[in-house]
């Protein structure tokens, strides 16, 4: 093998049998589509794109915080022009993705796809109009992180560096789309945040202002969780479901409230696992590595030590 082929990673003379592999992959796709009733002729991509949504999110972040998350050469005097330009581009790209999801949903329900254009434009317009309030809400989250972490030297450091803040920014945007009946796009945003930060927040979770995730890796927050104001949680915390009820056919029932309610001013320390539709009362503190499946009243202080006297059925 020549040096140039080694550099390029080529192996001359090898037959990869690509024609056979391509044909067999074609057969495998058709088998799956036939099994799932997807026999309609496909002319183009039918589902939203993670790559496009990633670009949309980057643009939205730079529009929300232009002089901190925007381009390096941006100057204050051109800030408004930049925000308008980048928003126009991001919202038009988002509109294309919204159309794809609405068309996909329409096909599943047997609704004519031509009916999605008006709803798509309305949804994106409502999303755009919500951005100023989302910015103000995110300001409370950034300030909560700065005030809640003695290692934080400035709100700018928090915004630029903290994975918990990135996850919360993405969640606030995803939740807005989730509320607009776009669960697939919302979930794509959530999984982009999960991949980048290790923090898994379902876009359906309802989270109040001044929310702070410290360190963050391994945090899981379920779809029907409700979190109040000024709540602080640490790494590896789970707000999950205790059980998954099924119907008579054995299929999991979806949409039922199954995750915790965390009231205002609660602190949950690292490794705590809180499961089921229980309530953590206002002002409570949940210690590290606690396993909790029962409600606790306001201003409780729950640790492993004070749970040892409880039976397994009470915990």
Q: Is 40 inside any structural domain? A: no
CATH at residue 152:
1.10.3130.10
CB atoms within 10 A of CB 237: 25
Are 234 and 302 in a shared domain? Answer: yes
Residues 6+ apart with CB under 8 A from 104: 46, 47, 184
The residue from 170, 198, 226 where one domain ends is 198
pLDDT digits (tens, 9 = 90+) for 97-147: 999 999 988 887 877 766 888 999 999 999 999 999 999 999 999 999 999
Q: Domain count for the chain, please give it.
A: 2
Same-domain status, 186 and 280 = no
What are the structure tokens assigned to 148, written together? 């809640």
Residue 239 lies in a domain: yes
Residue where a domain stops, chosen among 145, 170, 198: 198
Q: What is the pLDDT of residue 8?
A: 60
What phi and psi values does residue 91 have, to the nearest 5 degrees? -70, -35
**What pLDDT was estimated at residue 254?**
75
pLDDT value of position 46? 82
What's residue 3's pLDDT? 55
Co-location of 171 and 233 in the same domain: no
The boundaries of the domain holding residue 106 are 45-198
Within-domain flag for 33: no
Tell me, yes or no, whether 80 and 134 share the same domain: yes
Same domain membership, residue 146 and residue 223: no
User: Could you tell me if 187 and 108 lie in one domain?
Assistant: yes
pTM (predicted TM-score): 0.88
Which parts of the chain sit beneath pLDDT 70? 1-11, 39-44, 113-114, 308-315
192 with 256, same domain: the answer is no
In CATH, what number is assigned to the domain containing residue 299? 2.160.10.10
- pLDDT computed for residue 122 by the predictor: 97
pLDDT of residue 36: 80
DSSP string over 81-111: HHHHHHHHHHHHHHHHHHHHHHHHHHHHHT-
Q: Are strands 301-302 and 285-286 parallel, antiparallel or unpaired?
A: parallel
User: Which residue from 238, 252, 219 is spatially nearest to 290, judged by alpha carbons?
Assistant: 238
**Residue that is last in its domain, among 169, 198, 227:** 198
Q: Please list, in sequence order, all residues whose beta carbon lies within 8 angstroms of the beta carbon of residue 217, skipping any fewer than 6 positions away.
A: 163, 197, 198, 199, 235, 236
Between CA 149 and CA 151 the distance in angstroms is 5
């Amino acid at each position: 093998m020549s040096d140039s082929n080694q550099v390029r990673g080529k192996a001359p003379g090898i037959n990869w049998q690509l024609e056979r592999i391509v044909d067999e992959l074609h057969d495998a796709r058709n088998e799956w589509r036939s099994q799932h009733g997807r026999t309609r002729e496909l002319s183009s991509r039918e589902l939203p794109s993670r790559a496009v949504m990633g670009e949309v999110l980057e643009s939205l972040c730079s529009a929300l915080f232009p002089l901190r998350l925007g381009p390096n050469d941006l100057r204050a005097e051109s800030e408004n022009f930049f925000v308008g330009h980048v928003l126009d581009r991001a919202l038009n790209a988002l509109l294309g993705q919204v159309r794809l999801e609405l068309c996909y949903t329409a096909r599943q329900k047997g609704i004519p796809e031509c009916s999605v254009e008006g709803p798509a434009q309305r949804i994106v317009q409502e999303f755009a109009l919500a951005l100023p309030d989302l910015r103000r809400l995110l300001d409370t989250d950034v300030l909560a992180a700065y005030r809640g972490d003695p290692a934080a030297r400035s709100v700018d450091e928090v915004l630029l560096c903290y994975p918990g803040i990135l996850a919360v920014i993405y969640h606030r945007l995803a939740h807005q789309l989730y509320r607009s009946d776009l669960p697939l796009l919302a979930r794509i945003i959530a999984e982009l945040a999960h991949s980048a930060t290790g923090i898994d927040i379902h876009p359906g979770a309802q989270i109040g202002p001044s929310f702070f995730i410290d360190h963050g890796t391994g945090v899981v927050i379920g779809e029907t969780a409700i979190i109040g104001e000024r709540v602080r949680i640490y790494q590896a915390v789970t707000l999950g479901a205790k059980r998954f009820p099924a119907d008579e056919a054995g299929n999991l029932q979806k949409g039922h409230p199954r995750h915790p309610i965390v009231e205002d001013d609660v602190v949950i320390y690292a490794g705590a696992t809180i499961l089921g539709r229980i309530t953590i009362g206002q002002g409570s503190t949940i210690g590290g590595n606690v396993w909790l499946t029962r409600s606790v009243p306001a201003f409780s202080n729950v640790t492993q030590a004070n749970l040892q006297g409880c039976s397994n059925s009470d915990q």
